[in-house]
Copies of this chain bind each other. A is one copy, B any other.
Amino acid sequence: MSQSNIPLSHLRALYAMMCRIRAFEDAAEIASKGGVAAFGQAAGSTAHVRGPLHLSTGQEAVPAGVCAHLRPADYMTSTHRGHGHTLAKGADLAGMMHELFGKATGFCGGRGGSMHIADFSVGMLGANGVVAAGIPIAVGAAQSIKIRASHGNPDAIAVTFFGDGAINRGPFAESLNWAAAFKLPLLFVCEDNQWSATTKTGAMSAGEGAAARARAHGLVAETVDGNDVGAVSETARALIADIRQGKGPALLHARTYRFKGHVSVDPAAYRDPKELEAALEHDPLVLAARKLIQLGINVADVDSIMQAAREEVAAAVASADGAAWPDDAAAFTEIQSMGAGQWL
């Protein structure tokens, strides 16, 4: 399946979401320079976004295409590289930027930051600092939907995003088995950007990859060009429709590419520049924009979509910058109810 099959208005909406993600990541990247010591970089004190910041630049088509078919009652878990998923699930862009800036007005009141972005109000149950750890949580959310079927949204589903490197952690396999054994309404999405931190995933992964592993556990699985937002959307649509009908879990393997380093301060010196150059030829935003133009939207219109996204993000940055830090006391609230106040 490819872009050509989807209606213009849908492609336009997908493109708008991709632009918002791209603009968000670009702004976060700038705000994070000097934000953490790694890859030979020192941490400065001037960065607005501190700590490890994992950018999904270049991977926007996957969350945009998948989440177009999700509803607020559907649950999602994500990874350390979760801004795109969060936005695409419908979370407020400014709330996320405020959280990256560590402000009281962020989604987590400044307690979590980029690796712990979450917006439970739209079903986004959390990014995760531990590779593959979000997968079993989504399994539980999917099982909960089944168990609580009478409680309102019987055809809700859960979706879990994870990377190509994550498929080599045990919880991935455990979760495939579990989801299939209980026939849970769960979509696994392997967002395959070909890299695991500084390591090419290929050499570390035996066999035919995520889809083959899923099939071996009895799941339906599809592989798709993850830079073709139309293809992602159409494939996800079909899989999600089946899941909603109770046909059990499925896996979507989307091939894409990580344009940036592992974290925002990583210059990715270990990577052949040609590989990046080649990948940039398949920038999912460029591909989608080209298609929109083919379909008759004029260039200025297309540009205005990105322009609007950049403006939205700039406003978010400005407001995040001006927002208040959490009270120091917030370090000691929302920990637990029993024994609250007993720190020592």
Contact = CB atoms under 8 A, between A and B. Distances in A.
Interface of A: 168-174, 176-181, 203-208, 212-213, 215-219
Contact of A213 (B170, B171, B205, B217): B217
Contacts of A217: 206-207, 213
Contact of A207 (B206, B208, B216): B216
Contacts of A205: 177, 181
19 contacts: A168-B178, A170-B170, A170-B171, A170-B172, A170-B174, A173-B213, A176-B206, A177-B205, A177-B206, A178-B206, A179-B206, A180-B207, A181-B206, A206-B219, A207-B215, A207-B217, A207-B218, A207-B219, A215-B216
Contacts of A218: 206-208
A173 B173 CA distance: 6
A173 B179 CA distance: 16
A98 B172 CA distance: 42
Contact of A169 (B174, B179, B181, B206): B174
Given A170-B173, A173-B173, A177-B168, A208 B204 contact: no
Contacts of A213: 173, 213, 216-217
Given A173-B174, A181-B204, 10 more contacts: A172-B173, A178-B206, A179-B206, A181-B203, A206-B217, A207-B219, A208-B216, A213-B213, A213-B216, A216-B216
A172 B170 CA distance: 8
A181 B199 CA distance: 14
Contact of A212 (B168, B171, B181, B216): B216
Contacts of A207: 177, 180, 215-219
> Most chain-B CB neighbours within 10 Å: which of A212, A213, A216?
A216
A219 B172 CA distance: 19
Nearest to A207: B218
A204 B212 CA distance: 20
Nearest first, the 8 closest Cβ-Cβ pairs linking A and B are A170-B170, A180-B206, A173-B173, A216-B216, A207-B218, A206-B218, A207-B217, A212-B216
A168 to B, nearest CB: 5
Nearest to A212: B216
Nearest to A215: B216
Nearest to A213: B216
> Most chain-B CB neighbours within 10 Å: which of A179, A180, A181, A208?
A181
Contacts of A208: 216, 218
A209 B213 CA distance: 12
A250 to B, nearest CB: 13
Nearest to A132: B170
A130 to B, nearest CB: 13
A178 B167 CA distance: 12
Contacts of A168: 174, 177-178
Contacts of A178: 168, 206
> Most chain-B CB neighbours within 10 Å: which of A170, A178, A203, A208?
A170
Contact of A170 (B169, B203, B212): B169
Nearest to A214: B216
